[in-house]
Amino acid sequence: MKLPNWFKIIWWLILVGLLTAFLWHRYPELAIGRAVPADIVVFVIWAALLLAPLFSEVSLLGITLKQQISELKEYVASQITDVKSEVRSAVDVRATFSPHFNIPAPAADAQLPEIERRIKSAVSDALAEHGIQQPPTPAQVPVPQDVTLLFATRYNLEKELRRIGESRQLTGDTRRPMPVLQLTRALIQTELLEPRLANAIREVYSVCSPAIHGEPVTQEQVAFVQAVGPELIAALGAIT
């Protein structure tokens, strides 16, 4: 139990007062050298009490040592509080951040020729800024076989999920497709997907996604998708 500071001060004053009164009463005997062992013990305790405010936790009359210790403890406590607040804020941001970006809907087919012209003009201007006068040969678009497998698996998973969602009118505006994970949750809520099957879809989808974003893939990831991907796609295809 931590006693309040005012109680410590009052208790210290009472003890000092009582011992001072005792020594004052015994002073005549002490002055003539008739001290007894009890007088010596009381005197030592009395002297220790007088020095106690200099070294104890009692803050008496603004003792500097205690004030400095208190200030240091308050500073450390405030720093810990700040760190906790920053960590909590970072966790809250990650918890509330949506991994889906608002990508504009594709342009209408009639607008594509004009957009094509603007893109080619932008490419030419960019090359000119770098001092390249002769346009390079259009690059080939090679796709590794492993990436093709992962992309095809993810593509067909999304295709089947959206087919099921559209048949139940869960996908909303077709120009702004519902994110796959959100669509999966909606299908679980409507009991069109079993939670275990939905979890399996998320696992496969997460393994396929890095390849779509140009990240390296491992042979273990490719073998995993190859082993379970076709079964998942077939299971979704059977849901009508």
Q: Look at residue 141 in the predicted model and tell me its pLDDT.
A: 72
Same domain, 150 and 213: yes
Let me know: does 81 contact 89? Beta carbons within 8 Å. Answer: no
Do the domain assignments include residue 121? no
Do the domain assignments include residue 124? no
Burial (CB count within 10 angstroms: exposed 0-12, middle 13-18, buried 19+), residue 203: middle
Q: Look at residue 101 in the predicted model and tell me its pLDDT.
A: 45
Same domain, 159 and 232: yes
Q: Which amino acid is at 155?
A: Y
Same domain, 79 and 155: no
pTM of the model: 0.49
Supply 166's token pair: 């559209």
CA distance 23 to 29: 10
Count of domains for the chain: 2
Of the residues 57, 72, 90, the one at which a domain ends? 90
Same domain, 156 and 222: yes
Let me know: does 122 contact 177? Beta carbons within 8 Å. Answer: no
Do the domain assignments include residue 58? yes
Domain of residue 175, residue span? 143-237
- Each of the 240 residues of the chain gets a pLDDT tens digit; together they read 556 777 778 887 888 888 888 888 888 877 787 778 887 888 788 777 776 666 544 444 444 434 444 554 554 554 555 555 455 544 544 444 444 445 556 678 888 889 888 888 888 888 788 777 777 777 677 788 888 999 999 999 999 988 888 888 776 655 667 788 888 888 888 888 888 888 888 899 889 988 888 888 899 999 999 999 999 899 888 887
Cα of 35 vs its chain's centroid, Å: 70
Do the domain assignments include residue 14? yes
Of the residues 90, 106, 122, the one at which a domain ends? 90
Q: Look at residue 156 in the predicted model and tell me its pLDDT.
A: 93
HSE-up of 89 (CA within 13 Å, CB side)? 6
Do the domain assignments include residue 17? yes
Supply 125's token pair: 């201007």
Core vs surface per residue 222-239: b (16+ CB within 10 A) or e:
beebeeebeebbeebeee
Of the residues 74, 90, 106, the one at which a domain ends? 90
Q: Look at residue 173 in the predicted model and tell me its pLDDT.
A: 57
Do the domain assignments include residue 117? no
Same domain, 151 and 82: no
